[in-house]
Chain A
Amino acid sequence: MTRTVLTVDDSRTMRDMLRMALSGAGFNVVEAVDGEHGLEVLSAHRPDVIITDINMPKLDGFGFIEAVRIDDDYRAIPILVLTTESDPSKKQRAREAGATGWIVKPFNPEKLVEAIRRVAA
């Protein structure tokens, strides 16, 4: 069964990189350009895993994660956050918001898929 991954990132480059790595690993990929858009796509596609950036316009990663976690329909979806540096404070804030795990940028496709495997049934 093909799993759907929602990627939320305001950078087109990063979305393309994620798409390349994920479709290469057999995932179905849906994309959103910021947190607000992410919530819309979420209801349209019901992804199995979410990968989100933190710094985004409109609704940032923290806000997006919180919004997903308070929604009974979606709060069990694993969320991985993309962090540029392994900045502990940012990671901690993301975890407090409800992030399941994280991926440190720049990532390689293997690491990415491994992180998904670790959080996705």
Chain B
Amino acid sequence: MDELEAIKVTFFQECEELLADLEGGLLAMQDGNDDGDTVNAVFRAVHSIKGGAGAFGLEPLVRFAHVFETLLDALRSNEIPSTPDLTAVLLRASDVLADHVSAARGLGTVDMAASAAMAAELKIWTDPNAAPAPAAAAPVETSQYVDAAPIVIGADDDGMDDDDLGFDFQPMTISLDAQAEDAAVLEDNVWTVSIRPKSDLYRKANETALLLRELSRLGPVQATLDDSALPALEFLDPEAAYVTWSVRLETEQGEEAIREVFEFVDGDCDLEITRGEAPVADVLASLLNVAAPAPEPETAFETASAPETALIEAPVEALAPVVEAAAPAPVTAPAPAAPPVAANAPAAPAAKPAQIDVPGPGQSVIRVDPERIDHLIDLVGELVINQAMLAQRVGEYGIAPSSNLAMGLDELEQLTRQIQDSVMAIRAQPVKSVFQRMPRLVREVANMTGKQARLVMDGENTEVDKTVIERLADPITHMLRNAIDHGLESPEERKAAGKNPEGVVRLAALHRSGRIVIEVQDDGKGINRERVLSIAVKKGLISPDLTLTDEEIDNLIFLPGFSTADKISDVSGRGVGMDVVKRSVQALGGRISITSRPGLGSTFTLSLPLTLAVLDGMVVDVAGETLVIPLACIVESLRPKAEEIRPLGPTGSVLAVRDSFVPLIDVGLTLNYRTTSPPATDGVVLLVEGEDGSRAALVADAIHGQRQVVIKSLEQNYQQVEGVAAATILGDGRVALILDVDAVINLRRRGPPLPSDPTLIAAE
């Protein structure tokens, strides 16, 4: 059954979301938000997982979810109080539930012993005596579905297509002769059912006519209506119930089947089911409490057919007014002859005109193959380049900016931009999908290392291109592991240091100048610089006589071959050091850095471009080369005056910008385009700001203008070049390099490139 398989896929997708909700809710509870809404949402998540799992016969999952749900139900109805201990148990249970879901999906296995232990632990909370396996009911439901699932419903045999009421119990005639005629019928198979609806029956939109129709499915029926209690019209309460039905039913099915017909109206009508023919009067008498002197059937009939009592002959239509009178509402069902919609139509004022025509969820979401979007993005990129070329040509021909052609081109540029933004927005997604996986990681790592850690997340809704999101998970995982394993102290150490034994790890995402920044912050001991330095020297990573700033020492941990852990722990020492993280981040055009304060903790900062597709840049000329500087980094551009430039050291110089001095960096020199820099006063200075807020004044020869450029990866097409982030194709078809501003600032700080570095100029 393909459709069922498709729903199963949906189910597992939904499970992912529900598990995330569950965890989110439990974490909120951990933070003290145990209001009703949160607890209810947590309950619903488990409840829905169980419901869907039941439908697919996923027994172990259903069983575990059931125990979990039972406890949550007790919690939400305040039978048991919410305590931090309980929340901790629930969080661990949510991990086991997630394992069950994965296993049901065919990904991984469940440690059944651990699951059983968890289930037992959950049961203790609701029932201290913890009777074994009260979940037995769940699998039964499950198997019920599994048995029935393959049955395909035929529309033809359900009776629903017989139009409208499908009153197929035609023999409505009541005549006393019938008794004689039916003499052949086995007395045992004849039943008398008397029904006296209460107004509640109609209030719940149940309908006597439908009950009669259901009865008629069991066998031939003859129905008698007693409307003797029906008052005159002026006294009639349209919401009240006045009539009584007496039905003679022939069926080979037993009383159980007859009772089942009335399952939904149990308590909403007086019901009497008796075997055999019942004299009408008996029935009426018993129902109406009429003290009838047990007469012969004929007499009884006479009595009953007093003026108010009508025995009706095949009068389906004639029933209508009565039923209608008893029915409460503007009548959908009661008029058996009228199609329900027709009856509805007049009663339906065109109220609430054109409420948003809410589409089914299937319609509101379009699933698109990501490849198509990628292709579209590529095309839009080409369009941007093309549009830039066109603009340049128009400029070359000296066409006035006020001409129609130039103005049309401006409009084209705006449209191109809008298209590009829209296309990028399609791929933008909140980082939530990655963040969601982290609380569990933190719990597990904390358990394994014996630390106490609480994860605080911020900015989960920060959006970033899908291609970037996918590659965020690994670095974040690594940074978190590192923060807990190496950053946080053990609870004892923390107590000794006067800190809360529970360490806090903060994971945050934010947008900063056209990039997404991910921060992982811990409140642990900070980096032990002495140790880092001695390890780096011991391992020959740096020369012993080098003087390094604190910041430089901190960042030594990113060097290949560096690992501070004395012994390789189970958690961080998975053969992947921070250097690998750094490299994978750089491959994305990103950067990673660490700042640390002894005793207070460390912060990893990871920054990535929001998209790997386009960039706004300033096109500049440096030593005859065209370079693009990301606009997001540029604070201002200026022409320096000689008196603003002060020499610093033998080769360096700084620029006085208002009240501060900023290092002057000649881009051509840094990138080895030239060996001596011309006086800065001949060129243009671009004041830039790096990721960490440090400023520098970049000297270029000339500015060509501002342009949107399509990023072409240098790593993919050539190799990584220090100081260069990527490349692009300009309007005139030439390749230009996009400057990596932070790298350029750092290159300057570090001095000339190390001999081991590849020759930068090779990129050209």
What is the interface of chain A, defined by CB distance below 8 A to chain B?
A: 1, 3, 10-17, 19-21, 24-26, 29-33, 37, 40-41, 43-44, 46, 48, 55-57, 69, 72-73, 75-79, 84-85, 95, 98-102, 104-111, 113-114, 116-121
Contact = CB atoms under 8 A, between A and B. Distances in A.
Given A69-B203, A107-B145, A121-B340, A14 B48 contact: yes
Interface in B7-31: 7, 10-11, 13-14
Q: Interface size class for chain B?
A: 35 or more
Contact of A98 (B137, B164, B204): B204
Interface in B320-377: 327-333, 336, 339-341, 344, 347-349, 351-352, 355-358, 360-362
B327 to A, nearest CB: 7
B149 interface: yes
A77 B152 contact: no
A26 B44 contact: no
Contacts of B210: 118-121
A121 B205 contact: no
B340 A72 contact: no
B496 interface: no
A15 B361 contact: yes
Contacts of B344: 46
B525 interface: no
Contact of A48 (B44, B141, B340): B340
B3 A20 contact: yes
Nearest to A58: B37
A73 B137 contact: no
A89 B95 CA distance: 31
B430 interface: no
Given A84-B54, A116-B160, A76 B329 contact: yes
Interface in B278-305: none
A77 B205 contact: yes
Grouping DSSP codes into helix (H, G, I), strand (E, B) and loop, the B interface class, with mixed when no group exceeds half, is helix
Nearest to B342: A1
Given A3-B160, A98-B204, A100-B206, A46 B348 contact: yes
B734 to A, nearest CB: 51
A102 B50 CA distance: 19
Given A13-B11, A117-B159, A76 B327 contact: yes
A21 B153 contact: yes
B747 interface: no
Contacts of A33: 361
B151 interface: yes
B339 A109 contact: no
B209 interface: yes
B48 A25 contact: no
Given A20-B4, A44-B355, A75-B328, 7 more contacts: A13-B7, A24-B152, A84-B54, A98-B205, A108-B145, A108-B148, A108-B151
Interface string B151-173: 11101001111011100000000
B264 A55 contact: no
Given A84-B54, A111-B148, A113-B153, A100 B10 contact: no
A75 to B, nearest CB: 5
B43 interface: yes
Nearest to A4: B341
Contacts of B50: 84
A77 B332 CA distance: 7
A40 B340 contact: no
Contacts of B327: 76
B341 A55 contact: no
Interface string B251-263: 0000000000101
B264 A119 contact: yes
B52 interface: yes
B238 to A, nearest CB: 12
B52 to A, nearest CB: 4
B706 interface: no
A85 B65 CA distance: 13
B355 A40 contact: yes
Contacts of A95: 204
A25 B264 contact: no
25 contacts: A3-B160, A12-B10, A13-B7, A14-B52, A16-B6, A16-B10, A19-B362, A20-B3, A24-B155, A25-B160, A26-B155, A48-B341, A75-B203, A76-B205, A76-B332, A78-B205, A84-B51, A95-B204, A102-B264, A108-B147, A108-B151, A113-B158, A118-B261, A119-B205, A121-B209
B144 interface: yes
5 smallest beta-carbon distances between A and B, as pairs: A108-B148, A76-B329, A106-B145, A121-B333, A26-B155
A26 B161 contact: yes
Q: Which of A16, A95, A98 has the largest count of B CB atoms less than 10 A from its CB?
A: A16
Given A106-B54, A110-B148, A121-B164, A17 B7 contact: yes
A111 B333 CA distance: 21
Contacts of B209: 121
A44 B330 contact: no
Given A25-B158, A84-B51, A119-B264, A20 B7 contact: yes
A98 B329 CA distance: 13
Contacts of B4: 20
B86 interface: no
B159 to A, nearest CB: 6
B303 to A, nearest CB: 34
B52 A11 contact: yes
B214 interface: yes
B151 A13 contact: no
B361 A31 contact: yes
B579 interface: no
